[in-house]
Amino acid sequence: FDGLKAQIESQIPSEIARLKALKTKYGQEKVGEVTVNMLMGGMRGIVGMLYETSLLDANDGIRFRGLTIPELQEKLPGKRDREPIPEALLFLLLTNKVPTEKEVEALRADLMERAEKFAKECAMNDAGNKSKKNVFDALRALPEETHPMTQLSAACLAMQNDSKFLKMYASGTMKKTEYWKYIYEDALDLIAKLPVVAAYIYKRSCVKEAARKSSEVPTVDASLDLAANFSQMMGFSSNECKELMRLYLTIHADHEGGNVSAHATHLVGSALSDPYLSFSAGLNGLAGPLHGLANQEVLKWLKEAQVALKGDYSAETVKTFVENTLKSGRVVPGYGHAVLRRTDPRYECQREFALKHMPDDEMFQLVSRLYEIVPDVLKATGKVQNPWPNVDAHSGVLLQHFGIKEENFYTVMFGVSRSIGCLSQLILSRAHGYAIERPKSVTSKWLEEKFQ
């Protein structure tokens, strides 16, 4: 299937011309000022990179190529029920065009073929020729208790051997204008492989019950969509769980370029490191508790709350519990954001999903109660810029309802989804000839001398 690749290729000349004109016309214009506060505050507010696939507005939330989450739910084709499928989002991110049903189906089939080929080859390899080691051997060599995010990131590195970009670059025959073609192949391979590897990590080292455990290479059902197959490989075959997976993999895919996982992938990729190396770097950032690991932290915290509150979810008791979290020196996981200044639309659509599919779930009742209480408690600190919930405040409660109860796996699912956004931009960055990143840093002495 080269329909998507051909469409990207056909857009490259006009995109490059547009960027060139932008540079020629406005190259000397200023896009903002940098204050010492911004420099010392994690570069917050500095406009410093181009990132085409999505844009975050502090008040409106995320837009994927201009479309909000409700618009994605309405407009993207390929739906099995109500939720969009991530294949359709991938097409949109790469082409800035809402695909047709046929285009989505062709991309779905392409990704599933890649996934099936990968899983079959590794399984055959396991059964027969032991001299050729594969990524699953690399994972088996890690202690079972290694954090699942560390395993996913290590798996990316272990698969680098398959990089077509790496091979072509080493051959010395690839022109700069062709870089993107091999980055594209690696990116699609990786997007297809990650659910297989993630499902393997889940069944080998996250689940506890012997009956659900497995260290076999998962079997891919190429007739399914990517999300449904992921759910099935993990052992969850209900239509509701597949539908949740479609929503989950779609809404976690992209959140503009400055967040740690997207920026790390972008930065490492700018050195012409291949997608396996680049996305592994992104995953390492996503594994941090202030970023993607927050979804794991949220569920741990909700479980703590259930034990402490013993079913009493009255406003006063819940408020005291939240205040005690702050007093103990911890952040309230799942609340706050570096850029957003409202309830995350990704939280809202997950809440809608819960209202539709599991309104009576006890933990969902607690999450709803927290939504009423936490913002005021955070506002009262006088320092939190955004007291509203982010995406991570809601994802765990949905997953646990459908049986995915092992919270140390949640960030892996985030990572599987994030590959779609980060790797789309990586393809475009090479296609459009973005420069290697090299911002200037200064010492604090340099600052003191400048202003004293």
CB-based contact 112:229 (threshold 8 Å): yes
In the chain, the amino acid numbered 109 is A
332 contributes a contact to ligand CMX by CB under 6 A? yes
Q: Which of 386, 400, 411, 425 binds ligand CMX (CB under 6 A)?
A: 386
Query: Which one is catalytic: 147, 255, 291, 394?
Result: 291
Query: Cβ of residue 390: shortest distance to ligand CMX, in angstroms?
Result: 4
CB-based contact 204:371 (threshold 8 Å): no
Give the bridge partners for 62, in sequence order: 56
The interface region with ligand CMX, picked from 263-271, 359-367, 382-390, 431-439 by CB under 6 A, is 382-390
Q: What is the dihedral of CA 353, 357, 362, 366, to 10 degrees?
A: 10
Write phi, then psi, for 61 (nearest 5 degrees): 85, -160
334 contributes a contact to ligand CMX by CB under 6 A? yes
Query: Which one is catalytic: 147, 337, 394, 401?
Result: 337
392 catalytically annotated: yes
385 contributes a contact to ligand CMX by CB under 6 A? yes
Residues between 352 and 381 with contacts to ligand CMX, criterion CB under 6 A:
378
How many helices (H) and strands (E) the chain has is answered by: 20, 2
338 contributes a contact to ligand CMX by CB under 6 A? yes
Both tokens of 140, joined, read: 């088996």
250 contributes a contact to ligand CMX by CB under 6 A? no
> Considering beta carbons, is residue 84 or 375 the nearer one to ligand CMX?
375
Query: What is the rounded distance in angstroms from the CA atom of residue 391 to the CA atom of residue 148?
Result: 20
The interface region with ligand CMX, picked from 25-33, 90-98, 347-355, 383-391 by CB under 6 A, is 383-391
> Considering beta carbons, is residue 77 or 288 the nearer one to ligand CMX?
288
Query: What is the rounded distance in angstroms from the CA atom of residue 211 to the CA atom of residue 205?
Result: 13
> Considering beta carbons, is residue 4 or 373 the nearer one to ligand CMX?
373
Q: Which of 218, 333, 345, 415 binds ligand CMX (CB under 6 A)?
A: 333
H-run or E-run covering 325: helix 315-327
Query: Which one is catalytic: 110, 392, 394, 401?
Result: 392
Report the candidate in 318, 299, 322, 297 with the shortest Cα–Cα distance to residue 309. Answer: 318
Query: What is the rounded distance in angstroms from the CA atom of residue 2 to the CA atom of residue 110?
Result: 9
> Considering beta carbons, is residue 199 or 293 the nearer one to ligand CMX?
293
> Considering beta carbons, is residue 78 or 86 the nearer one to ligand CMX?
86
Q: How many CA atoms lie within 13 A of 329 on its CB side?
A: 0
> Considering beta carbons, is residue 346 or 430 the nearer one to ligand CMX?
346
Query: Cβ of residue 402: shortest distance to ligand CMX, in angstroms?
Result: 21
337 catalytically annotated: yes
Query: Cβ of residue 389: shortest distance to ligand CMX, in angstroms?
Result: 8
The torsion region of residue 132 among left (phi > 0), alpha (psi -120 to 50) and beta comes to beta
384 contributes a contact to ligand CMX by CB under 6 A? yes
The DSSP 8-state label assigned to residue 224 in this structure reads S
396 contributes a contact to ligand CMX by CB under 6 A? no
> Considering beta carbons, is residue 8 or 49 the nearer one to ligand CMX?
49
Report the candidate in 240, 177, 183 with the shortest Cα–Cα distance to residue 16. Answer: 177
Query: What is the rounded distance in angstroms from the CA atom of residue 242 to the CA atom of residue 128?
Result: 33
Cα→Cα distances 305→210, 311, 332, Å: 29, 9, 12
401 catalytically annotated: no
Residue nearest ligand CMX, Cβ-based = 336
Residues between 267 and 296 with contacts to ligand CMX, criterion CB under 6 A:
290-292, 294
Query: Cβ of residue 183: shortest distance to ligand CMX, in angstroms?
Result: 25
Query: What is the rounded distance in angstroms from the CA atom of residue 445 to the CA atom of residue 450?
Result: 8
418 contributes a contact to ligand CMX by CB under 6 A? no
Task: Catalog residues that contact ligand CMX under the rule CB under 6 A.
Answer: 259, 290-292, 294, 326, 331-338, 378, 383-386, 390, 392
Residues with a catalytic annotation lie at 291, 337, 392
